[in-house]
Chains A and B, each alone.
Chain A
Amino acid sequence: MADKVVMDSDSINRTISRIVNQILERNNGAADVVIVGIRTRGVHIATRIANEIEKLEGIRPEMGTLDITLYRDDLRQKTEWPKVEKTEVPFDLDDKKVILVDDVIFTGRTTRAAIEAIMDFGRPSSIQVVTLIDRGHRELPIQPDYAGLKLNTLSSETVRVHLKETDGKDEVVVVKQ
């Protein structure tokens, strides 16, 4: 069946701007705020958030990237284990406000794994979850603090976030199976 475009380049930009403003409002600016992106596309959204914060506040928050493979809860079931990519959090997370960024939140299992990974880097004062798309169907009690777009989806559908950095253009599409 046909793919449905639910966000284009302009709406993605506006949504990221709005999320950045919400982050700055809730945290009274960008002091002690660090941005951690979940590989792969969360990292690109995290970078855009950091750029925007730098524009508005004049300081660039520290940035980290997280590969959650070693924290997955399905390693005991999965037939094909993913390749482990690099995690880079080259700064102390103690007493920091960690903005954890992913492109899509679905079952909540990736977010859970990411939270566990972050805890191994220190004791942040808070972890706040950002996601461009919240597509529902949570299997764990985890909710985003900042969601770009809430979508009602079927479990059988796939949400694809395309970003200029990896896919050549900005676009979110829902693919029906």
Chain B
Amino acid sequence: MAFERKHILGLEELTAEEITLVLDTAESMREVSDRDVKKVPALRGVTVCNLFFEPSTRTRSSFEIAEKRLSADVLNFTTIHSSVVKGETLLDTARNLEAMGASMIVIRHPMSGAPWLLARELNSSIINAGDGWHEHPSQGLLDLFTIRRFKGRIEGLKVAIVGDILHSRVARSDIWGFSKLGAEVRVVGPPTLIPKYIEDINAKGYYNLEDAIRDADVVIMLRIQRERQDSEFFPSLREYSRFYGLTRDKLKVAAPDVTVMHPGPINRGVELSSDIADGAEAVILEQVSNGIAVRMAMFYLVASARRNS
């Protein structure tokens, strides 16, 4: 099957076959990172711009390493240093980058839908690195990739996503990805942080942690954003941690070979106890390494589709 998408904007619009092709390609890309010379010439001469309107270290670095391992030329554009502070619009900024020769733009933006706007208006290929509360497709894909490597499959697995589902783009991409590949997806958190439409996107909502993680093969912990502790969503961080923080004791109800993931950065002792974060069930650092291979696969496939069109 040939990949025919010029952009990767979200997992909602990808088919199961397209997702599987990304994962298979990432499987082949993984080996490049184990070599003496960690570089292949596939994207030589292609300029990729990382356009980040939100602070990010992990995701931006991972994209940048993936670009460099494919020999692309990399241009980093972060808002604190840019003319955005002088009042330039998103579209003007992106058009300028395109005029400088960027043929692929990786964008992170606080507004949901921003990558779609660029995809509609520009000739460049757009890769969504996280938009608002909406989607974070590369994180969803690397979560799928990591689980497929550890479990050998996605289909039939019970996957529980724990925490602030309402504001989490990781949760949304994971829900689409895991459900499309045939997993049973459950989400759990305080009622204020579980969106009402959750059943409509093929996930089952829970308010009790133990109910949600019972017999689960995979538990995905989300970061609770500390800045929300003063908001009205839950009374206190301590109370949140008590009900929804994952501890060894609570994890006993999950499947014996449960795998625990976290997109980082971790609030140790809030959503995840340290003995689990550093324990045998956690694959948090594998997620980070796998992220590079998955992003390399995304670039390769998008570049091949560009050539096609």
Where the two chains meet, the residues of A that have a C-beta atom closer than 8 Å to any C-beta of B are 67, 69-71, 75-76, 78-81, 83-88, 116-117, 119-122
Contact = CB atoms under 8 A, between A and B. Distances in A.
B36 A75 contact: no
B304 A81 contact: yes
Given A70-B42, A71-B40, 16 more contacts: A67-B28, A70-B32, A70-B41, A79-B307, A81-B303, A83-B21, A84-B29, A84-B297, A84-B300, A86-B28, A86-B31, A87-B28, A87-B31, A117-B40, A120-B36, A121-B36
B167 interface: no
A121 B308 CA distance: 31
A81 B308 CA distance: 8
A80 B297 CA distance: 16
Contacts of A120: 35-37, 39-40
A121 B38 CA distance: 9
Nearest to A68: B40
A85 B297 CA distance: 12
B98 interface: no
B36 A81 contact: no
Nearest to B42: A70
B306 to A, nearest CB: 10
Contacts of A71: 40-42
B24 interface: yes
B100 interface: no
A127 to B, nearest CB: 16
Contacts of A81: 2, 300, 303-304, 307-308
Contacts of B25: 83-84
A81 B27 CA distance: 17
A135 B258 CA distance: 55
Interface of B: 2, 21, 24-25, 27-29, 31-32, 35-37, 39-42, 45, 70, 297, 300, 303-304, 307-308
Nearest to A76: B45
Contact of A121 (B29, B35, B42, B297): B35
Contacts of A79: 307-308
Nearest to B24: A83
A101 to B, nearest CB: 19
A121 B2 CA distance: 29
A75 B27 contact: no
A89 to B, nearest CB: 8
Contacts of A76: 45, 307
B39 A78 contact: no
A80 B29 CA distance: 19
Count chain B CB atoms within 10 A of each CB in A70, A71, A120 and give the residue with the most: A70
B2 A88 contact: no
22 contacts: A69-B42, A70-B40, A70-B70, A71-B42, A79-B307, A80-B2, A80-B304, A81-B2, A81-B303, A83-B21, A84-B25, A84-B29, A84-B297, A87-B28, A116-B41, A120-B35, A120-B36, A120-B40, A121-B35, A121-B36, A121-B37, A122-B36
A87 B70 CA distance: 15
A26 to B, nearest CB: 26
Given A83-B24, A84-B28, A78 B40 contact: no
Contacts of B300: 70, 81, 84
Contacts of B41: 70-71, 116
Contacts of B40: 70-71, 117, 120
A13 B24 CA distance: 35
Contacts of A75: 42, 307
Nearest to B2: A80
A88 B30 CA distance: 11
A111 B108 CA distance: 41
A86 B27 contact: yes
A80 B1 CA distance: 10
A85 B27 CA distance: 8
Contacts of A80: 2, 304, 308
A11 B297 CA distance: 42
8 closest A-B pairs by CB = A81-B304, A70-B40, A120-B37, A84-B28, A70-B42, A86-B28, A84-B25, A87-B31
Count chain A CB atoms within 10 A of each CB in B24, B32, B304, B308 and give the residue with the most: B304
B28 A85 contact: yes
Contacts of A83: 21, 24-25
Nearest to B27: A86
